[in-house]
Amino acid sequence: MTQAVSPRQRRLQAFVAADRDRTGIPNEWFEMTPFIRFDPATGEIIQYGTMSLGGLTHLEETQGWSWLPQSGRPDLHYVNPATGRRRVKAVCPAVLDGLMLHNLPQPCRIEITEEATGQQVYDETAAEVQLSFDHPGTYTVRVLSVPFTPGEFVVTA
């Protein structure tokens, strides 16, 4: 059984089929596709949105973009560098016990924020870290690693 095609759909199909012939520009410059741009070394999603396939291919060739033609969000997804496939981030395994952070993912970045002193960032490769603070106050400690959602802890010193 064939599906009925409206006159408007027929006109649109004819336009798309003939478009390259009339403009000389391939259709892939007009058809939008979702994409995620990522760092090939870490798998971190740098940018996401929609763009023409022609534009994405051009940026890959001229700017060295690494991208996948699918949707994704940096807070929920990453790209596995070994397979080149988008994956859902796992829960951060870090645990805070007093002022000791255990089970840190390797490698990770630790952000410590306090309203009065601002933010300090540390790149960490150890599995455990002893926290220390110069001033009393309430600090927000975030553990960031690409294949995991951010681990966030509030510490009062």
Instruction: Give, in words, the CATH class of 95-156.
Output: mainly beta
Decide: residue 61, CB within 10 A, 0-12 exposed, 13-18 middle, 19+ buried. Answer: exposed
The pLDDT of 19-36, averaged and rounded, is 69
Q: Residue 58 pLDDT more than 90?
A: no
Q: How large is the average pLDDT for residues 54-81?
A: 92
pLDDT in tens, 7-26: 877 776 776 666 555 555 55
The reply to whether the predicted model has a pTM over 0.85 is no
Q: What is the pLDDT of residues 88-131, one digit of tens each?
A: 999 999 999 999 999 999 999 999 998 877 899 999 999 999 99
- Domain-by-domain residue ranges, the chain? 7-88, 95-156
Neighbours of 72 (CB within 10 A): 20
Q: Fill in the amino acid letter for 70.
A: Q
Query: Which residues, 6 or more positions from 120, have their beta carbon under 8 angstroms from its beta carbon?
Result: 111, 112, 113
Q: How confident is the model at residue 2 (pLDDT cuts 50, 70, 90)?
A: low
